[in-house]
Amino acid sequence: MSSKVAVFWPGDYRSLPNEWALPQAREATANLMAALKKLGRSPYLVDGFITRPDQAIETLGPIHDPMIGLFVHWTYAPHTVDGVVGKDSPLLLASNFSPTWPGLVALLNTAASLESVGRKASRVWSDQPDWTTDARFMERLDEWCSTGLIAYDQAELRPSPPVAAKEAAIASQVHDAIARRRILALMLGDTSMGMINGYFGPRLLYPIGFSEHKVDQAWLIERQRSISDRRIDDAFRFVQDKGVVFHWETPDALDFTPAATREQLRGYLTVLDLIDEFKADCLGWQYQLGLLKSLPPSDFAEGLLNSHARPEGDGQVIITSTEVDQGNLVPMELMKRVLRAKGLPAAVMFHDVRWGGMHEGRFLWLLLNSGSSGAYAFNHDESTLKGVHSHRQPSGYFPVPGGTFAGVSLAGPITWARAWIDAAGKLVMDLGQGESVELPEPVREAWHKGSTPQWPFMAADLGCSMETIMAHYMSNHIAVVYGDILGEMVALSERLGLRVRLISR
Protein backbone atom coordinates (compact mmCIF):
# COMPACT_ATOMS: atom_id res chain seq x y z
CA MET A 1 0.00 0.00 0.00
CA SER A 2 1.18 3.53 -0.74
CA SER A 3 3.03 5.29 2.05
CA LYS A 4 0.97 8.43 1.42
CA VAL A 5 -2.35 8.51 3.30
CA ALA A 6 -5.03 11.17 2.87
CA VAL A 7 -6.95 12.12 6.02
CA PHE A 8 -10.27 13.91 5.55
CA TRP A 9 -12.99 15.35 7.75
CA PRO A 10 -16.57 14.32 6.91
CA GLY A 11 -18.80 17.11 8.17
CA ASP A 12 -22.30 18.13 9.08
CA TYR A 13 -24.23 20.18 6.52
CA ARG A 14 -24.88 22.76 9.24
CA SER A 15 -22.02 25.10 10.08
CA LEU A 16 -22.46 25.33 13.86
CA PRO A 17 -21.90 21.61 14.63
CA ASN A 18 -18.73 21.73 12.57
CA GLU A 19 -17.54 24.76 14.52
CA TRP A 20 -18.34 23.11 17.86
CA ALA A 21 -16.46 19.94 16.90
CA LEU A 22 -13.41 21.70 15.47
CA PRO A 23 -11.28 21.32 18.64
CA GLN A 24 -12.01 17.58 18.74
CA ALA A 25 -11.26 17.28 15.02
CA ARG A 26 -7.90 18.97 15.45
CA GLU A 27 -7.01 16.90 18.51
CA ALA A 28 -7.99 13.61 16.84
CA THR A 29 -6.16 14.58 13.68
CA ALA A 30 -2.97 15.24 15.60
CA ASN A 31 -3.32 11.83 17.23
CA LEU A 32 -3.97 10.08 13.93
CA MET A 33 -1.11 11.84 12.13
CA ALA A 34 1.30 10.92 14.91
CA ALA A 35 0.17 7.29 14.78
CA LEU A 36 0.58 7.10 11.01
CA LYS A 37 4.02 8.67 11.13
CA LYS A 38 5.05 6.24 13.85
CA LEU A 39 4.15 3.47 11.39
CA GLY A 40 6.33 5.03 8.70
CA ARG A 41 3.50 6.56 6.67
CA SER A 42 3.28 10.04 5.14
CA PRO A 43 -0.16 11.42 6.01
CA TYR A 44 -1.62 14.64 4.68
CA LEU A 45 -4.83 16.44 5.59
CA VAL A 46 -7.52 17.31 3.08
CA ASP A 47 -8.48 20.90 3.85
CA GLY A 48 -11.70 21.62 5.75
CA PHE A 49 -14.90 19.77 6.59
CA ILE A 50 -16.75 18.15 3.69
CA THR A 51 -20.29 19.47 4.12
CA ARG A 52 -22.06 18.56 0.86
CA PRO A 53 -22.09 15.57 -1.53
CA ASP A 54 -20.65 17.67 -4.37
CA GLN A 55 -17.68 18.52 -2.17
CA ALA A 56 -17.11 14.82 -1.51
CA ILE A 57 -17.19 14.10 -5.24
CA GLU A 58 -14.86 16.97 -6.12
CA THR A 59 -12.50 16.59 -3.14
CA LEU A 60 -12.24 12.85 -2.60
CA GLY A 61 -12.93 11.66 -6.13
CA PRO A 62 -9.51 12.61 -7.55
CA ILE A 63 -7.61 11.07 -4.60
CA HIS A 64 -6.17 7.62 -5.32
CA ASP A 65 -4.08 7.31 -2.18
CA PRO A 66 -5.42 5.30 0.73
CA MET A 67 -7.90 7.46 2.70
CA ILE A 68 -9.00 7.80 6.31
CA GLY A 69 -12.23 9.58 7.21
CA LEU A 70 -12.08 10.99 10.74
CA PHE A 71 -15.39 11.08 12.65
CA VAL A 72 -15.62 13.23 15.77
CA HIS A 73 -19.22 14.46 15.43
CA TRP A 74 -22.38 13.76 13.46
CA THR A 75 -21.73 13.74 9.72
CA TYR A 76 -23.82 12.81 6.71
CA ALA A 77 -22.90 9.56 4.96
CA PRO A 78 -22.87 11.11 1.43
CA HIS A 79 -20.09 13.42 2.60
CA THR A 80 -17.93 10.29 2.50
CA VAL A 81 -19.78 7.77 0.31
CA ASP A 82 -20.30 9.98 -2.73
CA GLY A 83 -16.58 10.68 -2.98
CA VAL A 84 -15.35 7.10 -2.61
CA VAL A 85 -18.03 4.90 -4.18
CA GLY A 86 -16.88 3.09 -7.31
CA LYS A 87 -13.27 3.08 -6.15
CA ASP A 88 -11.36 0.20 -4.57
CA SER A 89 -8.55 2.09 -2.86
CA PRO A 90 -8.12 1.30 0.85
CA LEU A 91 -10.58 3.23 3.03
CA LEU A 92 -10.61 3.49 6.81
CA LEU A 93 -13.18 5.12 9.09
CA ALA A 94 -11.70 6.35 12.37
CA SER A 95 -13.39 7.75 15.49
CA ASN A 96 -12.25 9.28 18.75
CA PHE A 97 -14.91 7.26 20.67
CA SER A 98 -16.12 10.22 22.72
CA PRO A 99 -19.62 11.02 24.02
CA THR A 100 -19.21 14.78 23.57
CA TRP A 101 -20.39 14.77 19.96
CA PRO A 102 -21.83 11.72 18.15
CA GLY A 103 -18.72 10.84 16.16
CA LEU A 104 -19.01 7.09 16.50
CA VAL A 105 -22.72 7.39 15.60
CA ALA A 106 -21.63 8.92 12.30
CA LEU A 107 -18.97 6.26 11.81
CA LEU A 108 -21.56 3.47 12.23
CA ASN A 109 -24.00 5.17 9.86
CA THR A 110 -21.34 5.75 7.23
CA ALA A 111 -19.98 2.20 7.55
CA ALA A 112 -23.46 0.76 7.04
CA SER A 113 -24.11 3.12 4.13
CA LEU A 114 -20.87 2.03 2.44
CA GLU A 115 -21.85 -1.63 2.96
CA SER A 116 -25.24 -1.03 1.35
CA VAL A 117 -23.57 0.18 -1.87
CA GLY A 118 -20.86 -2.48 -1.84
CA ARG A 119 -17.91 -0.21 -0.98
CA LYS A 120 -15.37 -1.91 1.27
CA ALA A 121 -14.07 -0.04 4.31
CA SER A 122 -12.56 -0.82 7.69
CA ARG A 123 -13.12 0.78 11.08
CA VAL A 124 -10.82 1.82 13.89
CA TRP A 125 -11.27 3.79 17.10
CA SER A 126 -9.53 4.90 20.28
CA ASP A 127 -10.56 6.58 23.52
CA GLN A 128 -7.00 7.20 24.72
CA PRO A 129 -5.56 10.72 25.09
CA ASP A 130 -2.53 9.57 23.08
CA TRP A 131 -3.53 7.13 20.34
CA THR A 132 0.05 5.99 19.83
CA THR A 133 -0.09 4.38 23.29
CA ASP A 134 -3.26 2.41 22.46
CA ALA A 135 -1.80 -0.98 21.53
CA ARG A 136 -4.94 -2.41 19.90
CA PHE A 137 -5.53 0.75 17.90
CA MET A 138 -1.94 0.77 16.67
CA GLU A 139 -2.07 -2.92 15.75
CA ARG A 140 -5.20 -2.39 13.69
CA LEU A 141 -3.89 0.77 12.06
CA ASP A 142 -0.71 -1.09 11.14
CA GLU A 143 -2.77 -3.96 9.70
CA TRP A 144 -4.73 -1.52 7.55
CA CYS A 145 -1.56 0.27 6.42
CA SER A 146 -0.03 -3.06 5.45
CA THR A 147 -3.01 -4.83 3.84
CA GLY A 148 -5.69 -2.20 3.17
CA LEU A 149 -8.21 -4.00 5.40
CA ILE A 150 -8.68 -4.91 9.07
CA ALA A 151 -9.88 -8.38 10.08
CA TYR A 152 -12.12 -8.45 13.16
CA ASP A 153 -13.15 -11.31 15.43
CA GLN A 154 -16.46 -12.79 14.23
CA ALA A 155 -17.05 -15.21 17.11
CA GLU A 156 -20.12 -13.30 18.31
CA LEU A 157 -21.77 -13.26 14.87
CA ARG A 158 -23.94 -16.35 14.96
CA PRO A 159 -26.49 -18.07 12.73
CA SER A 160 -30.14 -18.30 13.70
CA PRO A 161 -30.70 -20.10 17.02
CA PRO A 162 -33.26 -22.92 17.37
CA VAL A 163 -36.81 -21.66 17.86
CA ALA A 164 -39.25 -23.32 20.26
CA ALA A 165 -42.60 -24.51 18.93
CA LYS A 166 -44.51 -21.90 20.96
CA GLU A 167 -42.32 -19.10 19.59
CA ALA A 168 -42.73 -20.39 16.03
CA ALA A 169 -46.51 -20.50 16.47
CA ILE A 170 -46.64 -16.84 17.53
CA ALA A 171 -44.41 -15.89 14.60
CA SER A 172 -46.75 -17.76 12.26
CA GLN A 173 -49.74 -15.92 13.72
CA VAL A 174 -48.09 -12.55 13.07
CA HIS A 175 -46.91 -13.63 9.62
CA ASP A 176 -50.40 -14.78 8.63
CA ALA A 177 -51.86 -11.40 9.65
CA ILE A 178 -49.28 -9.62 7.47
CA ALA A 179 -50.12 -11.96 4.58
CA ARG A 180 -53.79 -11.03 4.91
CA ARG A 181 -53.08 -7.28 5.00
CA ARG A 182 -49.57 -6.08 4.25
CA ILE A 183 -48.10 -3.38 6.49
CA LEU A 184 -48.45 0.16 5.19
CA ALA A 185 -45.80 2.64 6.32
CA LEU A 186 -46.60 6.32 5.93
CA MET A 187 -43.34 8.05 5.06
CA LEU A 188 -43.15 11.78 5.76
CA GLY A 189 -40.17 12.37 3.52
CA ASP A 190 -37.53 10.08 2.08
CA THR A 191 -34.10 10.03 3.73
CA SER A 192 -32.87 12.29 6.50
CA MET A 193 -29.46 13.79 7.17
CA GLY A 194 -27.58 11.51 4.81
CA MET A 195 -28.64 8.13 6.23
CA ILE A 196 -28.20 6.17 3.00
CA ASN A 197 -28.54 2.87 4.88
CA GLY A 198 -31.96 3.87 6.26
CA TYR A 199 -33.92 3.76 3.00
CA PHE A 200 -35.06 0.41 1.59
CA GLY A 201 -37.72 1.42 -0.96
CA PRO A 202 -40.46 -0.71 -2.54
CA ARG A 203 -38.13 -3.27 -4.14
CA LEU A 204 -36.93 -4.40 -0.73
CA LEU A 205 -40.09 -3.65 1.27
CA TYR A 206 -42.63 -5.45 -0.92
CA PRO A 207 -41.12 -8.96 -0.56
CA ILE A 208 -41.16 -8.74 3.27
CA GLY A 209 -44.79 -7.68 3.58
CA PHE A 210 -44.36 -3.90 3.79
CA SER A 211 -45.52 -1.08 1.53
CA GLU A 212 -44.68 2.60 1.78
CA HIS A 213 -46.76 5.63 0.96
CA LYS A 214 -44.68 8.78 0.65
CA VAL A 215 -46.20 12.08 1.67
CA ASP A 216 -44.19 15.25 1.17
CA GLN A 217 -43.77 16.57 4.69
CA ALA A 218 -44.41 20.07 3.36
CA TRP A 219 -48.05 19.01 3.65
CA LEU A 220 -47.71 19.42 7.41
CA ILE A 221 -47.31 23.19 7.11
CA GLU A 222 -50.58 23.57 5.23
CA ARG A 223 -52.57 20.87 7.03
CA GLN A 224 -51.78 22.20 10.50
CA ARG A 225 -54.02 25.16 9.77
CA SER A 226 -57.07 22.92 9.98
CA ILE A 227 -56.37 21.69 13.53
CA SER A 228 -58.84 23.34 15.89
CA ASP A 229 -57.86 25.06 19.12
CA ARG A 230 -60.26 22.75 20.96
CA ARG A 231 -58.32 19.66 19.90
CA ILE A 232 -55.03 21.29 20.92
CA ASP A 233 -56.52 22.32 24.28
CA ASP A 234 -57.66 18.75 24.92
CA ALA A 235 -54.29 17.29 23.93
CA PHE A 236 -52.43 19.83 26.06
CA ARG A 237 -54.59 18.98 29.07
CA PHE A 238 -54.11 15.25 28.40
CA VAL A 239 -50.30 15.28 28.45
CA GLN A 240 -50.23 17.36 31.61
CA ASP A 241 -52.80 15.19 33.38
CA LYS A 242 -50.88 12.06 32.38
CA GLY A 243 -47.73 13.32 34.07
CA VAL A 244 -45.37 14.95 31.58
CA VAL A 245 -42.99 17.41 33.25
CA PHE A 246 -42.29 20.40 31.02
CA HIS A 247 -39.13 22.41 31.57
CA TRP A 248 -40.44 25.66 30.13
CA GLU A 249 -38.66 29.02 30.23
CA THR A 250 -35.50 27.85 31.96
CA PRO A 251 -32.60 30.33 32.01
CA ASP A 252 -30.94 28.62 29.04
CA ALA A 253 -34.20 28.14 27.10
CA LEU A 254 -36.43 31.15 27.66
CA ASP A 255 -38.13 30.68 24.29
CA PHE A 256 -39.41 27.20 25.19
CA THR A 257 -42.90 28.03 26.40
CA PRO A 258 -46.30 26.34 26.70
CA ALA A 259 -47.10 27.87 23.32
CA ALA A 260 -44.21 25.92 21.78
CA THR A 261 -45.55 22.65 23.20
CA ARG A 262 -49.00 23.47 21.86
CA GLU A 263 -47.50 23.87 18.39
CA GLN A 264 -45.83 20.48 18.75
CA LEU A 265 -49.19 19.01 19.66
CA ARG A 266 -50.67 20.66 16.58
CA GLY A 267 -48.08 18.73 14.57
CA TYR A 268 -48.93 15.51 16.41
CA LEU A 269 -52.64 15.89 15.61
CA THR A 270 -51.88 16.71 11.98
CA VAL A 271 -49.87 13.52 11.58
CA LEU A 272 -52.54 11.55 13.42
CA ASP A 273 -55.08 12.75 10.83
CA LEU A 274 -52.76 11.71 7.98
CA ILE A 275 -52.32 8.25 9.49
CA ASP A 276 -56.09 7.91 9.76
CA GLU A 277 -56.69 9.19 6.22
CA PHE A 278 -54.30 6.69 4.64
CA LYS A 279 -55.03 3.88 7.13
CA ALA A 280 -51.31 3.54 7.76
CA ASP A 281 -49.93 1.06 10.29
CA CYS A 282 -46.70 2.86 11.13
CA LEU A 283 -44.85 6.06 10.41
CA GLY A 284 -41.46 7.36 9.33
CA TRP A 285 -40.96 11.06 10.07
CA GLN A 286 -38.11 12.94 8.39
CA TYR A 287 -38.42 16.44 9.92
CA GLN A 288 -34.72 17.28 9.50
CA LEU A 289 -33.60 19.19 7.64
CA GLY A 290 -36.52 20.44 5.56
CA LEU A 291 -38.73 21.64 8.42
CA LEU A 292 -36.02 22.93 10.76
CA LYS A 293 -36.86 26.60 10.21
CA SER A 294 -40.59 26.16 9.59
CA LEU A 295 -41.99 23.99 12.39
CA PRO A 296 -40.97 23.02 15.92
CA PRO A 297 -39.13 19.71 16.43
CA SER A 298 -41.09 16.52 15.86
CA ASP A 299 -39.59 14.70 18.86
CA PHE A 300 -42.40 15.30 21.34
CA ALA A 301 -44.98 14.14 18.81
CA GLU A 302 -42.87 11.08 17.92
CA GLY A 303 -42.59 10.12 21.57
CA LEU A 304 -46.35 10.41 22.00
CA LEU A 305 -47.04 8.25 18.95
CA ASN A 306 -44.74 5.57 20.39
CA SER A 307 -46.63 5.67 23.71
CA HIS A 308 -49.79 3.80 24.70
CA ALA A 309 -51.15 6.85 26.54
CA ARG A 310 -51.56 9.58 23.95
CA PRO A 311 -54.12 12.22 22.95
CA GLU A 312 -56.98 10.90 20.81
CA GLY A 313 -55.44 7.45 21.18
CA ASP A 314 -56.88 3.97 21.43
CA GLY A 315 -54.44 2.62 24.01
CA GLN A 316 -52.06 1.31 21.35
CA VAL A 317 -48.78 2.71 20.04
CA ILE A 318 -48.28 3.87 16.47
CA ILE A 319 -44.73 2.84 15.68
CA THR A 320 -42.83 5.94 14.61
CA SER A 321 -39.31 5.86 13.26
CA THR A 322 -37.45 9.12 13.58
CA GLU A 323 -35.50 10.39 10.57
CA VAL A 324 -37.64 8.14 8.30
CA ASP A 325 -35.26 5.27 9.02
CA GLN A 326 -36.78 2.15 7.51
CA GLY A 327 -33.98 0.05 8.96
CA ASN A 328 -35.55 0.69 12.36
CA LEU A 329 -39.15 1.01 11.18
CA VAL A 330 -39.24 -2.58 9.91
CA PRO A 331 -38.04 -4.29 13.11
CA MET A 332 -40.01 -1.88 15.32
CA GLU A 333 -43.31 -2.71 13.61
CA LEU A 334 -42.56 -6.44 13.67
CA MET A 335 -41.54 -6.29 17.34
CA LYS A 336 -44.73 -4.42 18.18
CA ARG A 337 -46.82 -7.12 16.54
CA VAL A 338 -44.96 -9.92 18.29
CA LEU A 339 -45.39 -8.22 21.67
CA ARG A 340 -49.11 -7.78 21.07
CA ALA A 341 -49.46 -11.42 19.99
CA LYS A 342 -47.85 -12.42 23.29
CA GLY A 343 -50.16 -10.15 25.29
CA LEU A 344 -47.32 -7.83 26.32
CA PRO A 345 -47.09 -4.02 26.22
CA ALA A 346 -46.22 -3.21 22.60
CA ALA A 347 -43.64 -0.52 23.36
CA VAL A 348 -40.58 -0.29 21.12
CA MET A 349 -37.83 2.25 21.77
CA PHE A 350 -35.72 3.92 19.08
CA HIS A 351 -32.18 4.98 19.96
CA ASP A 352 -28.76 5.94 18.66
CA VAL A 353 -25.78 3.83 19.67
CA ARG A 354 -24.16 6.95 21.07
CA TRP A 355 -21.21 5.90 23.25
CA GLY A 356 -20.32 3.47 26.02
CA GLY A 357 -18.14 2.80 29.02
CA MET A 358 -17.27 0.32 31.74
CA HIS A 359 -19.44 0.02 34.83
CA GLU A 360 -18.89 -2.58 37.54
CA GLY A 361 -16.83 -4.78 35.29
CA ARG A 362 -18.94 -4.77 32.15
CA PHE A 363 -19.27 -2.55 29.13
CA LEU A 364 -22.56 -0.65 28.83
CA TRP A 365 -23.74 1.30 25.82
CA LEU A 366 -25.30 4.72 26.22
CA LEU A 367 -28.37 4.58 23.96
CA LEU A 368 -29.52 8.12 23.28
CA ASN A 369 -31.68 9.60 20.53
CA SER A 370 -33.66 12.82 20.38
CA GLY A 371 -36.94 11.24 19.27
CA SER A 372 -39.07 8.11 19.22
CA SER A 373 -38.58 6.59 22.67
CA GLY A 374 -42.03 6.06 24.15
CA ALA A 375 -43.07 6.62 27.76
CA TYR A 376 -43.19 2.92 28.67
CA ALA A 377 -39.39 2.84 28.97
CA PHE A 378 -39.57 5.36 31.79
CA ASN A 379 -42.49 3.94 33.81
CA HIS A 380 -43.46 0.40 32.64
CA ASP A 381 -47.09 1.53 32.83
CA GLU A 382 -49.20 1.69 29.66
CA SER A 383 -51.73 4.06 31.22
CA THR A 384 -49.51 7.01 32.02
CA LEU A 385 -46.85 9.40 30.76
CA LYS A 386 -45.15 9.68 34.14
CA GLY A 387 -41.39 9.85 33.92
CA VAL A 388 -41.49 11.87 30.70
CA HIS A 389 -39.60 15.17 30.71
CA SER A 390 -39.72 17.70 27.91
CA HIS A 391 -36.66 19.95 27.55
CA ARG A 392 -36.02 22.43 24.79
CA GLN A 393 -34.19 20.85 21.91
CA PRO A 394 -30.72 22.48 21.69
CA SER A 395 -31.15 25.71 19.77
CA GLY A 396 -27.96 25.25 17.78
CA TYR A 397 -29.58 22.32 16.01
CA PHE A 398 -33.25 23.35 16.29
CA PRO A 399 -33.90 27.08 15.74
CA VAL A 400 -37.69 26.84 16.25
CA PRO A 401 -38.35 26.15 19.95
CA GLY A 402 -39.87 22.83 20.91
CA GLY A 403 -39.39 20.11 23.48
CA THR A 404 -38.02 16.59 23.65
CA PHE A 405 -39.73 13.45 24.96
CA ALA A 406 -37.11 12.32 27.45
CA GLY A 407 -36.65 10.21 30.54
CA VAL A 408 -34.46 7.60 32.18
CA SER A 409 -35.14 4.06 31.01
CA LEU A 410 -35.93 1.52 33.70
CA ALA A 411 -33.92 -1.63 34.28
CA GLY A 412 -34.91 -4.95 32.76
CA PRO A 413 -34.14 -7.62 30.18
CA ILE A 414 -34.29 -6.42 26.56
CA THR A 415 -34.41 -7.73 23.02
CA TRP A 416 -32.93 -5.53 20.32
CA ALA A 417 -33.03 -5.50 16.52
CA ARG A 418 -31.88 -3.72 13.38
CA ALA A 419 -32.52 -4.37 9.68
CA TRP A 420 -29.88 -3.43 7.10
CA ILE A 421 -28.86 -3.89 3.47
CA ASP A 422 -25.85 -6.06 2.75
CA ALA A 423 -23.39 -5.64 -0.12
CA ALA A 424 -25.46 -7.99 -2.28
CA GLY A 425 -28.51 -5.77 -1.86
CA LYS A 426 -30.32 -8.20 0.46
CA LEU A 427 -32.01 -7.42 3.77
CA VAL A 428 -30.52 -8.73 6.99
CA MET A 429 -32.08 -8.68 10.46
CA ASP A 430 -29.62 -8.32 13.32
CA LEU A 431 -31.01 -9.58 16.62
CA GLY A 432 -29.69 -9.72 20.16
CA GLN A 433 -30.60 -9.79 23.82
CA GLY A 434 -29.29 -7.90 26.77
CA GLU A 435 -30.27 -5.77 29.71
CA SER A 436 -31.22 -2.20 30.43
CA VAL A 437 -29.21 -1.29 33.51
CA GLU A 438 -29.94 1.17 36.30
CA LEU A 439 -26.84 3.23 36.95
CA PRO A 440 -26.06 4.97 40.23
CA GLU A 441 -27.28 8.53 39.93
CA PRO A 442 -23.81 10.17 39.90
CA VAL A 443 -22.69 7.85 37.10
CA ARG A 444 -25.89 8.35 35.13
CA GLU A 445 -25.70 12.12 35.52
CA ALA A 446 -22.08 12.17 34.37
CA TRP A 447 -22.90 10.05 31.30
CA HIS A 448 -25.99 12.07 30.44
CA LYS A 449 -24.39 15.48 30.90
CA GLY A 450 -21.37 14.33 28.92
CA SER A 451 -23.60 13.73 25.91
CA THR A 452 -27.02 15.36 25.33
CA PRO A 453 -28.96 15.56 28.62
CA GLN A 454 -32.16 16.76 26.92
CA TRP A 455 -32.62 13.35 25.26
CA PRO A 456 -33.99 10.00 26.54
CA PHE A 457 -31.43 7.79 28.23
CA MET A 458 -30.80 4.04 28.35
CA ALA A 459 -27.68 2.28 29.65
CA ALA A 460 -27.65 -1.14 28.01
CA ASP A 461 -25.64 -4.31 27.95
CA LEU A 462 -26.30 -5.51 24.39
CA GLY A 463 -25.23 -9.06 25.14
CA CYS A 464 -22.02 -8.88 23.15
CA SER A 465 -18.67 -7.15 23.33
CA MET A 466 -18.10 -3.51 22.51
CA GLU A 467 -15.62 -4.66 19.88
CA THR A 468 -18.29 -6.61 17.99
CA ILE A 469 -20.65 -3.63 17.82
CA MET A 470 -17.92 -1.26 16.70
CA ALA A 471 -16.53 -3.67 14.11
CA HIS A 472 -19.68 -5.28 12.73
CA TYR A 473 -22.86 -3.38 13.63
CA MET A 474 -24.54 -1.93 10.55
CA SER A 475 -26.29 1.20 11.76
CA ASN A 476 -26.25 4.19 14.03
CA HIS A 477 -29.78 3.24 15.18
CA ILE A 478 -31.19 0.38 17.25
CA ALA A 479 -34.71 -0.81 18.18
CA VAL A 480 -35.21 -2.02 21.76
CA VAL A 481 -38.05 -3.72 23.64
CA TYR A 482 -38.36 -5.02 27.17
CA GLY A 483 -38.67 -8.78 27.52
CA ASP A 484 -37.66 -11.85 25.53
CA ILE A 485 -39.04 -12.02 21.98
CA LEU A 486 -35.86 -13.27 20.34
CA GLY A 487 -37.24 -16.62 19.17
CA GLU A 488 -40.36 -15.06 17.72
CA MET A 489 -38.36 -12.40 15.89
CA VAL A 490 -36.00 -15.02 14.46
CA ALA A 491 -38.88 -17.11 13.15
CA LEU A 492 -40.87 -14.14 11.85
CA SER A 493 -37.87 -12.53 10.13
CA GLU A 494 -36.98 -15.77 8.38
CA ARG A 495 -40.58 -16.39 7.30
CA LEU A 496 -40.63 -12.91 5.76
CA GLY A 497 -37.42 -13.64 3.86
CA LEU A 498 -34.79 -11.73 5.84
CA ARG A 499 -31.45 -13.31 6.62
CA VAL A 500 -31.01 -13.39 10.39
CA ARG A 501 -27.73 -12.62 12.12
CA LEU A 502 -27.65 -13.23 15.86
CA ILE A 503 -25.12 -11.08 17.73
CA SER A 504 -24.36 -12.72 21.05
CA ARG A 505 -21.57 -13.71 23.41
384 & 291 share domain: yes
* 93 lies in some domain: yes
Confidence check: pLDDT of 457 > 90: yes
* 297 lies in some domain: yes
How high is the mean pLDDT of the chain?
Answer: 96
Q: Give the mean model confidence (pLDDT) for residues 320-330.
A: 96
310 & 362 share domain: yes
Contact 80, 115 (CB under 8 A): no
Q: What is the pLDDT of residue 296?
A: 97
387 & 361 share domain: yes
173 & 96 share domain: no
* 157 lies in some domain: no
Q: What percent of the chain has pLDDT over 70?
A: 100
134 & 200 share domain: no
pLDDT-derived band at 290, boundaries 50, 70, 90: confident
Domain boundary among 121, 147, 173: 147
Confidence check: pLDDT of 74 > 90: yes
* 195 lies in some domain: yes
* 442 lies in some domain: yes
306 & 362 share domain: yes
pLDDT-derived band at 331, boundaries 50, 70, 90: very high
Q: What is the pLDDT of residue 297?
A: 96
The number of domains in the chain is 2
Contact 311, 273 (CB under 8 A): no
pLDDT-derived band at 2, boundaries 50, 70, 90: confident
Q: What percent of the chain has pLDDT over 90?
A: 96
Cβ count near 328 (within 10 Å): 29
pLDDT tens for each residue of 291-302: 989 999 999 999
Q: What is the CATH number of the domain that holds 97?
A: 3.40.50.10940
Contact 185, 284 (CB under 8 A): yes
172 & 133 share domain: no
pLDDT-derived band at 191, boundaries 50, 70, 90: confident
Confidence check: pLDDT of 371 > 80: no
Q: What is the CATH number of the domain that holds 199?
A: 3.20.14.10
Q: Which helix (H) or strand (E) holds 285?
A: strand 282-285
pLDDT-derived band at 193, boundaries 50, 70, 90: confident
31 & 123 share domain: yes
* Distance, CA of 15 to CA of 398 (rounded, Å): 13
65 & 210 share domain: no
* 160 lies in some domain: no
133 & 264 share domain: no
pLDDT-derived band at 233, boundaries 50, 70, 90: very high
Closest CA to 321 of 353, 357, 348: 348
The answer, as to whether pTM is greater than 0.85, is yes
Q: What is the domain range of residue 223?
A: 165-503
110 & 139 share domain: yes
* 158 lies in some domain: no
Domain boundary among 114, 147, 180: 147
113 & 178 share domain: no
* 159 lies in some domain: no
Of the listed ranges 31-40, 231-240, 283-292, the least confidently predicted one is 283-292
**What is the C-alpha radius of gyration for the chain, rounded to an integer number of angstroms?**
22
